[in-house]
Amino acid sequence: MSREAAEFALGARGAERDRISGDLLDLESHTTYQLLKGAALRGRTQQRWDQAQAALATMWSLYDAYRNVLRDAEQIRAGRGRLGGEELAALTELLAGPSVVLKAPPRPVEQRSLLPRADERLTLDETVMRMDAAFQTATSALTEIDAAWTALLPRLDEADSALRQVDDLLLRLGETLDLARPRADLKRLRAAVLEDPLDAAPVKQELDPITRHLANTRADLEQAIAVRDEYGRRRENLDASLDRVRAAESEARLAHGAVVAKITLPPQAQPRSRVSELAGELDALDASADPWLTRSRRLAALEQQAEEAARQARATAKALFGLVGRRDELRGLLVASQAKAVRKGMAEDPEAVRLYTQARALLWSAPCDLTKAATAVDLYKRAIHGGSR
């Protein structure tokens, strides 16, 4: 190796040593590394961390040997201002030859031999490659464990936060709920994630229903507080809703009275009132001593039932008046069919006349049987068209 090559190689190796030193220090200051150092691990995570620690021990051993060779080379270079042949030969051996000596590791007595074991010798490049392989083994474990923690710990934190919010809402409401099960489950799941994150895949399946349960409970409690604080106003609104139900049911009864004289209706078409039932439930709610969590659900259900009762009554009235419209539609269809019979010269056909008379008698009688009338009109139309529809 020439003087220039030796100077360049020594400078490059010094820069390489400093870079490797920085990487090792960054690794040891990594948050996940610090957490793992003091963690009580188990299972697959413990095995993976043991492998990473073994790799780290190998890496530091290699690095110490690598650094010692560079120190020896730097001492040779610092000894003389101008390198002579002897110094260049020594530097060449250190920087390019198998100068890194790895002592043979001790073995258990059952694996020993009485013959001497040779130490391993590596070049600086070979040493760096081995250090890199050990470094990759360690960082791969850190990355895998960190990814598992990152995926699950924030979700556990959110669930714990939701549980605290539920506790706060219960305190505001002055009521209690049995939360021992979700509280114990979250504690157990957090321990599982911290101790063995690499085997914590089932945690997500257990955590999802707990999270949904807490979210639903929080929503129910927020609603209960709102109901408690706004009960008077919502009670008045519910009274107004019941008035709308009364009006809609009155309209349905009037429609039934008007239509039943014109159209044959089945007994089940008689509108049924729900006002008394809903008003009774409201009175029971006023007198209830149930917790607000229960009363809020009852109030919300009653509000929905009142809206549905009013909607149903309006739909019933509309449907009843629609029957009269259907009768008028059939009347118009019969008249149009008769006009077509005249154009086709079938107005005097005995069968057509019979069917027309039958259909007209049904449609202009009161109450009108719409089912029979619709069949009669259809038969008349088919007779005009020669039996086809």
* pLDDT band for position 74 (cuts 50, 70, 90): confident
Residue 303, classified by CB atoms within 10 Å of its CB into exposed (0-12), middle (13-18) or buried (19+), is middle
- Cα 91 to Cα 72, 77, 100, 192, 248: the distances in Å are 9, 8, 13, 54, 104
Range 234-242 average pLDDT: 92
User: Which pLDDT tens digit goes with each residue over 135-168?
Assistant: 999 999 999 999 999 999 999 999 999 999 999 9
| DSSP reduced 3-state for 334 | helix
Chain mean position to CA 313: 40
Q: What is the DSSP string of 179-208?
A: -HHHHHHHHHHHHHHHH-GGG-HHHHHHHH
Higher pLDDT, 113 or 294: 294
- Token pair, residue 66, equals 């690598």
Q: Please, are residues 319 and 340 in contact by the beta-carbon 8 Å criterion?
A: no
Task: Judge residue 80's burial from the number of C-beta atoms within 10 Å of its C-beta, 0-12 exposed, 13-18 middle, 19 or more buried.
Answer: exposed
pLDDT of residue 82: 67
CB of 1 closer than 8 Å to CB of 92: yes
Across 253-261, average pLDDT? 93
Does 367 sit behind a cis peptide bond, omega within 30 degrees of 0 on the bond before it?
yes
Measured CA to CA, the distance from residue 381 to residue 362 in angstroms comes to: 15
Chain mean position to CA 186: 18
Look at residue 380 and give its three-state secondary structure: helix
Say what the pTM is.
0.61
Query: Vertex 180, ends 179 and 184: CA angle to 5°?
Result: 120
- Residue percentage of the chain with pLDDT more than 70: 95
- Output phi, psi for 121, to 5 deg: -120, 135
The band of 19, judged by pLDDT with boundaries at 50, 70 and 90, is very high
Amino acid at 109: V
Amino acid identity for residue 69 in this structure:
V
Is the model more confident about 4 or about 30? 30
User: How confident is residue 387, by pLDDT bands cut at 50, 70 and 90?
Assistant: low
CB 183 within 8 A of CB 163: yes
The reported pLDDT for the residue numbered 389 is 46
Q: Which two tokens stand for residue 348?
A: 């005097």
pLDDT attached to residue 116:
66
| Mean pLDDT, the chain, whole residue set | 90
Confidence of residue 201 (pLDDT cuts 50, 70, 90): confident
Tell me the helices (H) and strands (E) count for the chain, helix number first: 11, 2
Count other C-beta atoms under 10 Å from residue 27's C-beta: 16
Please provide residue 385's backbone torsions phi and psi, each rounded to the nearest 5 degrees.
-90, 15
pLDDT class of 241 with cuts at 50, 70, 90: very high
Q: Does the pLDDT of residue 118 top 80, yes or no?
A: no
Mean pLDDT of 123-132: 93
Query: Distance (Å, rounded) from C-alpha 182 to C-alpha 214?
Result: 8
